[in-house]
Each structure stands twice: as structure tokens, then as C-alpha cells.
Amino acid sequence: QVTVGVLALQGAFIEHIHMLRSIPGVKQVIEVRTKAHLESVDCLIIPGGESSAMALIAERSGMLEPLRQFVRTKPTWGTCAGMIMLSDEATNAKQGGQELLGGLHVRVNRNQFGSQKDSFKTNLHFPTILGEKQSFPAVFIRAPVISKILDDSVEVLSRLEAKVGQTDAETIVAVRQGNMLATAFHPELTSDNRLHQYFVHLALQAKQ
Ligand code: GLN
């Protein structure tokens, strides 16, 4: 069994916590705000929210370096703003710059869908992890996309299937690199917990 941490500095962390309570294999769910909290968990979810605000709070609370170390050694899943935090590079970043945790060898583009399509729901396929036939209902809210894969160790899990605004179908919206998982959308805002199950499965394997 695993203890799952959810970074609770800012953003949509409560919804992840609720969803995790329904997943077999989860012993405990902890809201992570300090280094001590981080040391007590086996894996971490970095939620959606506002990545520049999250980075600022992490910096002020002395969490940037502990988080940088954690995400490079233990299973971590970044959703939306959390995916931005995990990325090595971000374009369209906050003016004046914003800190990233890095470690995930991709470049993301923040706020890809602009104002005309700030939020939308679409079905995605995750052929390698959910099977060819199953689709997953994905909620995108001022979402980023992965605009470039920077290393062969990054596996594409899912792409958009329809053109959204200026953004092409086939744009990458979910990846895995070892024990790092990143999704551009909010899987905690639907009642479908299959991606949470998948992440817990990765964490259980890593702990063995
Ligand atoms: N636009 C936000 C950012 O740049 C991400 C939005 C989200 O997490 N739903 O951080």
C-alpha cells in the first residue's frame, strides 16, 4: 500500500484527495505543504491551478528545492498547472519568468487554447494504458499542451483527436517518463478514476 501526497499550496487539490480515497492500494492521502509532509509520502500529485502562483508559494515556503529532489526520485503526476511545474521548459510563461521544478524532458506552452476556448471537454484515448477501445473524458481549463518532446525517454500517452481553436488534432496532452506522469487536463473533475488507478499502480510498483 502507498501513502499518496497531494501538493496543497494552491489549486484544485481537494478533488484529487476525494478521488484518491476510492482507489484500492491507497493507505493514506496527505495534503503536502511542508518538507516534512513530503518526506512522509511515497508519491505525489501536483494539481491544476495557476503554475506561477504555485511556484511563488513554493519558493516562499522553501519548498522549491525539496520538490525538485522529490520529483526526480519518486513517482509524481502533474495535472495541468502541475504538468507545467514538472516540465523542463515553458513558453508563454508569466512575464518576468516563473520557476519550474523541471525533470520532465518536455517543453510546454501555457494557456495554449487562448481565450476563445478557455475550457472544453473532449474524449481522449490512452491506447497503451487503457486499451485501444476505451476513451477518457478530459476536462481542459486554460490548459497547456506539450509542444516539444526533448528526450527519447518521454513516452506519448495521449493526443487531442479533434482540432480545438487554433490547436491541431494530434497535439500531445499526456506523457510518461519513467515514474513521472503528466496530463494537460483535469482528471479529478470527472467521476472517472482510471488515471488515478494507473498512477497508484505505478507508485505501488516503484515501492516494491
Ligand atoms: N493556465 C494555468 C497555468 O498556466 C493552468 C490552468 C490549470 O491548471 N487548469 O498555470
Q: 50 CB under 6 A from ligand 1?
A: yes
The string of pLDDT tens digits covering residues 113-126 is 987 678 999 999 99
Would the annotation count 40 as a binding residue?
no
Q: How far apart are the C-alpha atoms of 143 and 57, rounded to whole Å? A: 20
Least confident of 30-44, 65-79, 110-124, 170-184: 110-124
- CB atoms < 10 A from the CB of 165, how many? 12
Dihedral (CA of 154, 158, 162, 166) sign: negative
- Which residue among 142, 183, 188 has the greatest number of ligand 1 atoms within 8 angstroms of its CB, and so is best to mutate? 142
Please name the amino acid found at residue 59: E
pLDDT band (50, 70, 90) for residue 184: very high
- The three three-digit cell numbers of residue 87, written as one number: 516540465
Q: Is the CB of 187 under 6 A from ligand 1?
A: no
Q: Which domains does the chain have, with CATH numbers?
A: 2-207 (3.40.50.880)
Is residue 159 a known part of a binding site? no
Q: In this predicted structure, what is the pLDDT of residue 145?
A: 98
- 51-94, pLDDT tens digit by residue? 999 999 999 999 999 999 999 999 999 999 999 999 999 999 99
Predicted ipTM of the assembly? 0.96
Specify whether the CB–CB gap between 147 and 91 falls below 8 A.
Answer: yes
Mean pLDDT of the 152-160 span: 98
